[in-house]
Amino acid sequence: MAVYECSNTMRDFLRDLPKCEHHLHLEGTLEPDLLYPLAQRNNIELPEQFPKTVKELEDRYKQFKDLQDFLDFYYIGCEVLLKQEDFFDLAWAYFKRSHSQGLKHAEVFFDPQSHTSRGIAIETVVSGFQKACVKAQQELHISSKLIMCLLRHLPVEDCKATLESSRVLFETQQLHGLGLDSAEKPFPPELFAECYETARTFHPDIQLTAHAGEEGDASYVSNALDLLKASRIDHGVRSTEDPELMARLARDKVMCTVCPLSSVKLQVFQDVRELPLTEFLNAGIPFSLNSDDPAYFGGYILDNYVAVQTRFDWDLATWEKVVRQSIEGSWCDDKRKNELQAELEAVVTKYKALA
Ligand SMILES: Nc1ncnc2[nH]cnc12
Ligand SMILES: [Zn+2]
C-alpha cells in the first residue's frame, strides 16, 4: 500500500485551501461502518459471498482489479439505501467529513437508477440528498449542486425513462447537471446523444458532463464533447493519447475532473506520479482534484491533494493556480466564485509569509 505523507506545514496549507469537489459519487461515500448498520436498519440481506464484517470489507477494498470489480461492490452497497433518511445520512456524513478537510463547494453525483430499479421513487432519493445539501450550506457553509448520472451499462430506453422522470426536478433547478457513469467500455458516449439532447431542453442553465477517458480511450472524450456537448469531462486522463484533443481541451477550457487515488485503486495507473498532471499544466488544460468514491478508494479530498503533493512536490504558486482553476470551473455563481477566490488569496498570502 502506498503511503502519502508531506510536511505538517504543507498539509496545513493543503487543508486550508478552499477546495471545490466536482467528481464525487454520493453512493461512493458509503463507508463500511455505515453500510452494515443501514443493512440492519432496513432489513436488507447482503449476498452470501459478501464480506461479513467492516474489517473484512475494508480489506477487500484495498485493491480492485479494475473499474468493474469496484462497481460490483458499489452496486451492492447501493442496496442498503432505502428511505429518505438513509440518503440524508449518507450525504450528511460526506459533508461533515469533507468539511474537516477544507471542502467549500461540492458538485456531487448520484445514480437514481440504482435506486429506482428497487422501487424507490427518485423524489425520495433527491429529497434526502437535498436536505443534507441545505444543512451543509447552513451549518458548514459548503455550497453544493446535484448532478444526476445515467448508468451507461443499462439499456438506453431505461436511461430515457429516468431522464423523463427527472424533468421537473431539472425545470425547478433542484438538479443542476447531467452526468454519465458506470462501466465505460463498451458503452461509448454516442449511445446517449439523444438523452443529452433531451436534457438540454429541460433548462437553459443545465450543465452537462460525462465520465470519459478513464478506461475508454481518447475518442470517448472527443465524442463526449462532440456528441453529448459536455462542457466538462470526468477523469479525461487518457486525453494525452491525442495531441489534437489536448489542444482542444486547453483552447475551450474544458475542465477535467481528475481523481488521483481512484485512478490508482482502479489500476488505471500504478502510482499517482503517473497521472498526466504536468502534461495538463503545461498544455493549459484546467483540472480539479477529486475523491470519486472515497469510501472505496481510501481517501477524501484532502487525502487526494496530499497524495498529489507527495508525488509532484508543487510549490505554493502551482497549488494556487490549480485551486483557482477549480473555482473558475465550478458551476456556482460569480458571487460565490469571488468569495472562494478571496479565501484562496488569503490562504496563499498567509502561507507565503510563513515560508
Ligand atoms: N469512477 C467511476 N467510474 C464510473 N462509474 C462510477 N460510478 C461510481 N464511480 C465511478
Ligand atoms: Zn466517477
Q: Kindly report, residue by residue over 40-93, the tens digit of the pLDDT.
A: 999 999 999 999 999 999 999 998 999 999 999 999 999 999 999 999 999 999
Please check if 211 is assigned to a binding site.
yes
- Global pTM? 0.98
- Ligand 1 atom 5: residue of nearest CA: 182
Does 1 have pLDDT greater than 90? no
Residue to mutate, 111, 147, 211, ligand 1, most ligand atoms under 8 Å from C-beta: 211
Ligand nearest to the CA of 26: 1
ipTM higher than 0.95? Answer: yes
Q: Work out the percent of the chain whose per-residue pLDDT is above 70.
A: 100
Please check if 25 is assigned to a binding site.
yes
What tens digit of pLDDT does each residue of 185-202 get? 999 999 999 999 999 999
Catalytic residue IDs? 214
- Please report the atom of ligand 1 found closest to the CA of residue 293: 9
Cα–ligand 1 centroid distance for 257 (angstroms):
12
Mean pLDDT to the nearest integer, 294-302: 98
* Strands lying side by side in the sheet with 177-181: 19-21, 103-110, 143-151, 177-181, 207-212, 232-235, 255-258, 287-289
Tell me the backbone φ, ψ of residue 257, rounded to 5 degrees. -95, 95
- Ligand 1 atom 1: residue of nearest CA: 292
Which CATH superfamily is 14-354 part of? Metal-dependent hydrolases (3.20.20.140)
How far, in Å, CA of 199 to CA of 208, rounded? 9
Residue to mutate, 150, 181, 257, 268, ligand 1, most ligand atoms under 8 Å from C-beta: 181
Please check if 23 is assigned to a binding site.
yes
What pLDDT score does 355 carry?
81
What tens digit of pLDDT does each residue of 87-98 get? 999 999 999 999
Place of cell 452537462: 208
What pLDDT score does 2 carry?
82
Does 135 have pLDDT greater than 80? yes
